[in-house]
Chains A and B, each alone.
Chain A
Amino acid sequence: MMTTSFSNLQSFLAMGGYGSYVWSAYGIVVLVGVWQVLRQMVRVNKMKKLNVWNGGKVK
């Protein structure tokens, strides 16, 4: 069976003393990644709502 590189949760979060660097890098990637997807979903909903309110009339 495979064993993890960390003995407990604290050592996992500490990342050998580099925790702040590692987790901030992952945090930024997650934030940007999620924000990008949400932005597109909001764009679609906005477009659909706008068109429904316009009664289907395209300007």
Chain B
Amino acid sequence: MWKRLHQFASPKFFYHFSGHLIPWLWGAFAIFLIYGLISGLLFAPPDYQQGDAYRIIYVHVPAASLSLMVFSVMGTMSIIYLIWRIKLADVVATASASIGAWFTFLALVTGAIWGKPMWGTWWIWDARLTSELILLFLYLGVIALRNAMKTPDTAARAVSVLTLVGLVDLPIIHYSVDWWNTLHQKATILKLAKPDIAPSMLYPLLAMMVAFFLYYCALMLMRVRIELLEREKRADWVKNILYPSTNGIGASKD
């Protein structure tokens, strides 16, 4: 099993393996997205209080969930990098940072758009909203710190430490609605014992969350592959992929 795991840490193996995986991820993403959109926008009944405005939930909640999940993936990768110095872990964290920042941005923007008709305001310095905004700043800080450092190893170490410090914000975001009085509603779907949402509204939401997750996986792998080509540009396997005709070894279809 360890041998298999070590194989995954090899840039060459990971590049080719992810190349086979990406089309399947896009295919599965399309299926979940189509089901989620059709059932969420067309068949789910309107909310008894919010009417059809609640349908923003199908993009807002998946974006918000992914903003937290991507940062926790970055945290895990940072631990792996700091302990075992596996470079691929740093590449995955790098590739995830900008995707996570965009998910956070989308969660904030769609939340503001939903908040206007429901709360009467685009923004309020509420615990949930403010902690989510801090998460966006953390993502931007991680990206800026990496770009500011010239040595890749130093950048990777500094970014890993910042990411681990930033992990403190995740439980604050999650429990903010329980710890403080906020305008934001309390957890509804994470109460697995008995979610406070009707199944006809819940299933499309779960499908959209899966779709967003698959989108993240596919896009992250695309970014990882590009990052690997850039970082390993002097390696023979990269030369074979980028300019197969010049060395006569042959093209890779990946």
Contact = CB atoms under 8 A, between A and B. Distances in A.
B53 A16 contact: yes
Q: Which DSSP category, helix, strand, loop or mixed, fits chain A's interface?
A: helix
Contact of A44 (B99, B116, B226): B226
Interface stretch (B77-85, B102-110, B162-170): B102-110
A40 B106 contact: no
Contact of A15 (B52, B225, B239): B52
B223 interface: yes
Contacts of B60: 25
A55 B106 CA distance: 41
B109 A5 contact: no
A56 B223 CA distance: 22
Interface residues of B, number: 39
A25 B223 contact: no
A58 B234 contact: yes
Interface string A1-33: 011111000001001111001101110110011
A2 B203 CA distance: 15
B51 A37 contact: no
Contacts of A4: 42-43
A16 B105 CA distance: 26
A51 B242 CA distance: 7
A53 to B, nearest CB: 10
B44 A25 contact: no
A48 B239 CA distance: 10
Interface of B: 41-46, 51-53, 55-56, 59-60, 63, 99, 102, 105-106, 109-110, 113-114, 116-117, 215, 219, 222-223, 225-226, 229-230, 233-234, 239, 242-243, 246-247
8 contacts: A2-B43, A4-B43, A5-B45, A25-B60, A43-B226, A44-B226, A56-B239, A58-B233
